[in-house]
Structure 1
Amino acid sequence: MAGPEMEQVQAVFTAMRQGRVVLRREAVCSVGEPRQVLYEECLARVQGEALSPAQFIPLLERFSMVCTFDRYVMGQAVALLRGEPDVRLGVNVSALSMLPEVMWEVRFRQLEQMPEVASRLVVEVTESARMDVTLGGRFVRRLRQAGCRVAVDDFGVGYGVETAVSIRTPDIIKIDASLLVAARRGGAAQKRLAGMVRIAGSLARQVVVEGVEDQRDVELARQAGAQWAQGRLFTPEGGV
């Protein structure tokens, strides 16, 4: 591991030990009624370090350390759900974190023993790596047995479509923000967004368009056929 990369990874794990990994929440809202919230995605941030998830998550994946981080973040989300019985939260889990069940057994059993918490947790599978169909299938089954919902993140780029098909009927599919950005130019890009929403809708009951920044974006998501949207428009500065 190169020096600067090692320092970034060590900074993340030091922050975990010191309780400086915090969860910023970003709401997934109805395109027709923004006050109607499907759930709030928890986005991990490292306090006291100039590190963004876009920087450190790929490093953790590359060096097979992302599972430890994902288990930690899920544990934080579970603690929040226990303390806030009226909220629903989502957490990201890398496809590379879907390891043999023994790695997750403590977390799975915790969720199985708290069905009122599990029913309010959405686990978002990220698209940055290819999911092992066998291990991923077992992981998803255990989550669903506990009562959690499963979402596929960043659909339309990377391995998002492949992951959604492999999971078989995910509960939620989230369309990557890049498709919305392109759709702002109109024409074929708007048709591509609508096409992705249709494909997603054939695989999942609920479809979310990510990256919404203003009311025009909401209208683009609605015209494309999505029921839900997520982005800075619905999130206070800095998040919760």
Structure 2
Amino acid sequence: MFQSLEADSIEDLNRIIDVIPNPVIVKNRDHRIVLLNESACRFFGHSREVVLAFTDYDLFPDAEVAVFHAADDRVFATGELDEIEERITDARGRTRTVVTRKQRVRIRGEDHVVAVITDVTAYREAEARSRYLAFHDALTGLPNRTLLNERLDQILLRAPRRPEPGALIYIDLDRFKEVNDTYGHQAGDELVRQFAQRIGGLVRASDTAARLGGDEFAILLHGADPGFSPAEVCRRILLAAERPFALDEGQAYVSASIGLVEWSEPVIGRTELHQRADMALYQAKRDGRACFRVFNAALDARMRRRRRLEVDLRAALAAGTGLELAYQPLFATQGEQLVAFEALVRWQHPEMGYLQPADFLDVAEESGLIVPLGEWVLEEACTSLRATPDISLAVNLSPAELGSEQCVPRILAVLERTGFDPARLQLEVTEHTILDLRLAVERLRALRDAGIKIVLDDFGTGYSSLSHLQRLAIDKVKIDRSFVQDFLNFDESRAIVRAIARLGRSLGVSVTAEGVETEEQRTFLRRLGCEELQGFLLSRPLSTSDAIALLQCRSEQSASIGGLSAAPS
């Protein structure tokens, strides 16, 4: 604009540029400021007289001056418009980020550089904050999954040229849910913050400790140092997690389950490394928690088998093929009358052969397939035994099924579809299921109000058996097979069985003993007053056809005995 301007004095130019809201300065070839507006004075924090009397070196750090002068010289030499982002330190020592637009002009026959400054400090700070939040966890300040993956990708990209050992550690806090339930979510957040500080102090500056979400963390170790091994880091994490956490509500105690995958020259991608660390973590949980497990070939084979089982089980449920039921009879202690069948699922896998529940039920639970599988078992059993009105049917109810909001309507819908009498159905739940689910009690009551019997399975293995009997209207308890099988050799098991039998009688609750395999066990349990027995001594699980045949045989025997007793002497 100065190219076409004819002004009588510098004062005239000052009055013109003072109306411009952005800071404007004019420099000569000696890099001295010869003109500036009021906005520039306010921006720099000096009066016009001070700025005009000083050189750049008097006003700014030498490193910044070097950048300013280089840009000025470039504009003087080329005459082209130049726009650059610069850092300027003002009179208060604050560093400002500016975008400076510079152009060469002639004023009174001499070349000058006119610089128009736009302060973008607030914008850049907001941008930096947004980037920080995009790559860091807001609660702990640790890197998040995105930043962890970015750093892992960088390591993997460099690996072909510069291979270095590394490790990925997955961490999951045990019993964290109990802290949230007991003290509240604010206490849980404080525990997470404290744990984040602890693991952050266990790693080197070159490593990355990240929070993946909830109570899940990860650590990326890169490079080898003498005396610094991934296994040692895992041991330190276990110790760090075991120390008490000081919360406003009191001290909280947790532990950690850890999965570790190591590499020296990785030939797999980031996704596979995450999967392997997760496999190792899962194994640590299966092995009792509060430990760490290292990914290896054997673990890989087990996990691949589990994934295969999940895929095939999903297909079997969709197609309705391969799954079948076996029925374990329950007999009355007196007279050995058949009183019920417990439905047990089996799976004829096309490649792995005949699978027992222990081979695939935990896969079903983890994948969420236990809910449709449980519905299939219930419907299949109700359909098969619908025409046998004198026998009860026992079906296991998993924690996932009981935890579903649709639990009660789903079960009642199956009974309605199959026409099975609710009074003949016994749903078996474990103590642990009731303990872990707040809504379990009211859902079981709703089922019992519909006429269904509720059985407490594996009784004696939980934490508060008597309180469960008091809270729930239980129809029957089943003594866990571990006590039945051990009571002949261990006084403690014998005392537990005797106490359960007495407790059941005092509360008017039927008692069933499972796992009966010897005559000695049957005699002892009968003497204690157990109403029903179940086990291989009495009968192994039967196929559907064999179960129905047994019912028919018993019915014919009863009719024959009844006929003889009615005949004249």
TM interval, short-chain normalised: 0.7 to 0.9
Please give the alpha-carbon distance, in whole angstroms, between the structure 2 residues aligned to 1:211 and 1:44: 18
Unaligned runs of 5+ in 2: 1-278, 280-302, 548-569
User: Once the two structures are superposed, what CA deviation does each residue of 1:36-62 show, in whole Å capped at 9, x if it has no partner?
Assistant: 233111111112334221232222223
Distance of 1:232 and 1:50 partners within structure 2: 19
Contact 1:206/1:227 (CA < 8 Å) preserved in 2? Answer: yes
User: Deviations 1:15-34 (Å, cap 9, x if unpaired)?
Assistant: 33333221111111122221
Structure 1 counterpart of 2:333 = 31
Q: How does 1:35-184 map to 2 (within 5 A)?
A: 36-48=337-349, 49-111=353-415, 117-127=421-431, 129=433, 131-158=435-462, 161=465, 164-165=468-469, 168-184=472-488
The answer to whether the 8 Å contact 2:513/2:533 transfers is yes
Compared CA separation, residues 32 and 84, structure 1 to 2 (3 A): closer
Deviations 1:130-149 (A, max 9, x none): 54554212321232232111
- Which residue in 2 is equivalent to 1:7? 308
Structure 2 residue 321 is matched with structure 1 residue 19 = yes
Shift, 1:7, TM fit = 1.3
- Identity across matched positions, percent: 26
Corresponding pairs, count: 239
Deviation per CA, 1:104-141, whole angstroms, max 9, x where unpaired? 52432343687862111111113564545542123212
Q: SS of 1:45's equivalent?
A: strand
The change in CA–CA distance for 1:137 and 1:122 in structure 2 (over 3 A counts) is same
In 1, Cα distance between the equivalents of 2:341 and 2:474?
18
User: Residues 133 and 195 of structure 1: is their aligned pair in 2 closer, same or farther, counting only changes over 3 Å?
Assistant: same
* Closer/same/farther in 2, CA of residues 133 and 198 from structure 1, 3 Å limit: farther
Deviation of 1:175 after TM superposition, in Å, equals: 0.4
Map 1:191-210 to 2 at 5 A.
Answer: 191-203=495-507, 205-210=509-514
Q: CA RMSD in A?
A: 2.8
With over 3 angstroms needed to count, the CA separation of the structure-2 counterparts of 1:13 and 1:148, relative to structure 1, is same
SS class of match (2:386)? helix
Instruction: Determine helix, strand or coil for the equivalent of 1:60.
Output: helix
Quickly say closer, same or farther: Cα 1:188–1:137, change in 2 above 3 A. Answer: closer
TM-score by length of 1: 0.84
Q: Is the 8 A contact 1:108 1:142 kept in 2?
A: no
TM (norm. structure 2) is 0.38
- Work out whether residues 209 and 221 of structure 1, in 8 Å CA contact, stay in contact via their aligned partners in 2: yes
Q: Whole-Å Cα distance in 2 between the matches of residues 134 and 231 of structure 1?
A: 32
Distance in 2, Cα, partners of 1:42 & 1:194: 27
Compare CA radii of gyration and give the structure with the larger one. Answer: 2
Q: Select between 148-157 and 12-21 the one with higher mean Cα deviation.
A: 12-21
Q: 2-side partners of 1:184 and 1:197: how far apart?
A: 16
Q: Larger relative contact order (C-alpha < 8 A, sep ≥ 6)?
A: 1
| Alpha-carbon contact 2:314-2:369 (below 8 Å) kept | no
Change (3 A) 1:64 1:106: closer
Cα gap change, 1:186 to 1:38, in 2 (>3 Å): same
How far apart in 1 are the matches of 2:424 and 2:389? 9
Using the alignment, how far apart are the partners of 2:344 and 2:360 within structure 1? 13
Distance 1:29 1:189 in 2: 23
Match of 2:403, SS state, is: coil
Distance 1:148 1:237, change over 3 A: closer
Greater CA deviation, 191-200 or 175-184? 191-200
Q: Paired residue for 1:212, among 516, 526, 539?
A: 516
Q: Is the 8 A contact 2:408 2:446 kept in 1?
A: no
Q: Is the 8 A contact 1:164 1:203 kept in 2?
A: no
Task: Check the 8 A contact 2:379/2:414 in 1, yes or no.
Answer: no
